[in-house]
Each structure stands twice: as structure tokens, then as C-alpha cells.
Amino acid sequence: MANRTSTAQRPNGATQGRICQFKLVLLGESAVGKSSLVLRFVKGQFHEYQESTIGAAFLTQTVCLDDTTVKFEIWDTAGQERYHSLAPMYYRGAQAAIVVYDITNQDTFGRAKTWVKELQRQANPNIVIALAGNKQDLANKRMVEYEEAQAYADENGLLFMETSAKTAMNVNDIFLAIAKKLPKNEQTTGPGGSGQGRRLVEGDTGAKTAGNCCK
């Protein structure tokens, strides 16, 4: 395989040029701005009346941290959360999750807590969870206090930021904070982890393993 060369070029054991791929899932009540956050992060765009993006199974974006390149494969719920029908497959093997709520809507914060519980129960035990209080640009209509969310995040070991997909506030930062917190050396092990299976791909590229970090 032609692309094997790029592996060989990497100095053995050196930390330079390390590339890690992670599956990141978005969770949260409908209309809190999950897709908008991704669109801002991946494409730098914001649409006030964003319709759910037909056909976007997931988007990818890469960030650089000192010596490491972190590639996020970002999964959107595709609307399956609307009637509480998100498939377990969605968070299988996810190494990171952003649980989003709308700071102008107390109910969405309650729902976010339910999602955190669900992840703690069902997902990979080492998953990095970030809580995003979105729509910070509407802070004058705030219904969820910053301190309340911060305290909840601290109690549960979550990263926490208030974000605005509209103004781009903290959008890159929250992804970067996750990238920094993700384990980039060890393999995720144990049956709850991912990257042990194999994606089936057309052609001669073999298959792609999600979420494994290469040395």
C-alpha cells in the first residue's frame, strides 16, 4: 500500500507528528444548537435558521496540539433524539462527547444532565465529556446560571464552557480543551473501548480503525 510510506517516515518512538483520531458525539435536546456548534467549528459558518443538515452523517475536523494532530470524527444525532430514539450505536466507542444545553432554557439543562448520566452508564468508561451552555449571545434571556452549571460540571468531572455558535465564542476552545484532555498515548483497552473493530472500506485501502492513536 502506497500510504504505508508515511508511517515509515515517522521516526520510531519520537513524539513528533503523532496523529490521533477520535470519535466525538454530540448530545442534547433538539434545537439547543448542536449542529450549529459543529458547523461553526468545522466550516466556520452560522445560519440563524439552520435546518438539520440532510446527508451529513458526521463531519471531520483536525486540530493541532504541540506535537500531536487530533482528528475529530464528529457525529451529529441526525434528529434521532427528538422522540427519544437515539440508537446505542451512536455512542458506541465514542472517546468524547459534548453535551449541549441552551442557557435560555432550563429544561434543556435538565435534559443535558440526563444525557450525562446516560453516557456515564452506557458509554466507554474513559469518555471525555464536555458540557456546553450554548446561545451565550442571548445571555440577557439567561435561565441557567453559569455558576450552577459550573458546579454541576465540577461535581461530575466534566469540562464546561458557555459557547455561542453565532459569535463563535468558545467554540474552538471547547474542542481544543477536549483534545487536550484525551489520552493520546495509550490504547483504549477493554471491551468498552473502541478501535478494536474494523471499518469495512472499498478498494485496496484495507480498513480504517476508528479512534486508535498511532505511535
In the region spanning residues 170 to 189, those forming contacts with other proteins, defined by CB under 8 A, are 172-173, 176, 187
The values of phi and psi at residue 23, to 5°, are -90, 125
> Which SS3 state, helix, strand or coil, does residue 57 take?
coil
Q: How far is the CB of 169 from other proteins (least distance, A)?
A: 10
- Answer whether 163's CB lies under 8 Å from 134's CB: yes
Cα→Cα distances 14→9, 11, 17, 18, 33, Å: 11, 6, 8, 9, 40
Q: What is the rounded distance in angstroms from the CA atom of residue 106 to the CA atom of residue 145? A: 9
Please identify which residue in 34, 41, 102, 109 interacts with other proteins, judged by CB under 8 A: 41
In this chain, which stretch among 15-23, 135-143, 144-152, 158-166 interacts with other proteins, using CB under 8 A? 15-23
Closest CA to 97 of 187, 178, 180, 193: 178
Residue number with CB closer to other proteins (138 or 177): 177
- Told to check if 10 binds other proteins by CB under 8 A, we report yes
Site string for other proteins, 88-117 (x = CB under 8 A): xxx-xx-------------xx--x------
- Told to check if 195 binds other proteins by CB under 8 A, we report yes
Please identify which residue in 48, 85, 140, 155 interacts with other proteins, judged by CB under 8 A: 85
